[in-house]
Amino acid sequence: MQNMIVIGSRPEKEACGARTVHGYNRISENSQAYWIRSVIGDIDLRVYAGCPEHDELRALLQEKFRQRTLDEFTTGLVLQHITPREFRAAYEHDLEKARIEGADAKALEIRNALGI
């Protein structure tokens, strides 16, 4: 399973540094790209300047669209660029992570109830 979906062409010389987009703590940007963390599970998205997806994303951010609209857009981009097998692997990974977190939380609850 790939952990990073890349859309657009990487420039020869990549800019250093990025800043968090105000109001969207999972999105960082610089002059060349946007990085969106955890679009679906642990799958991240990088969208380079010079492609239509970058322009659409920039327009959404500039117009302060609702988080749900932005999430739908970025999820759609990821789903267009992964295979069903990769999606299933990401889904199963998230299920296993949730199961472990749930088991850990239940164990903590039991220990607290027993005073351990």
The pLDDT, as a whole number, for residue 100 is 93
The pLDDT, as a whole number, for residue 16 is 67
**pTM for the structure as a whole:** 0.72
Tens of pLDDT, residue by residue over 52-102, are 999 999 888 887 667 778 889 999 999 999 989 988 888 888 899 889 999
The pLDDT, as a whole number, for residue 65 is 65
The pLDDT, as a whole number, for residue 10 is 80
- Is 116 a member of any domain? no
- Is 99 a member of any domain? no
Domain count, the chain: 1
Q: How many residues does the chain have?
A: 116
Question: Residue 63 is part of which domain span?
Answer: 4-82
- Is 89 a member of any domain? no
Tens of pLDDT, residue by residue over 20-58, are 776 677 888 888 899 998 888 888 999 999 999 999 998
- Is 110 a member of any domain? no
In angstroms, the Cα distances linking 30 to 6, 16, 33, 87 are 15, 8, 6, 28
Q: Cβ distance 3 to 42 under 8 Å?
A: yes
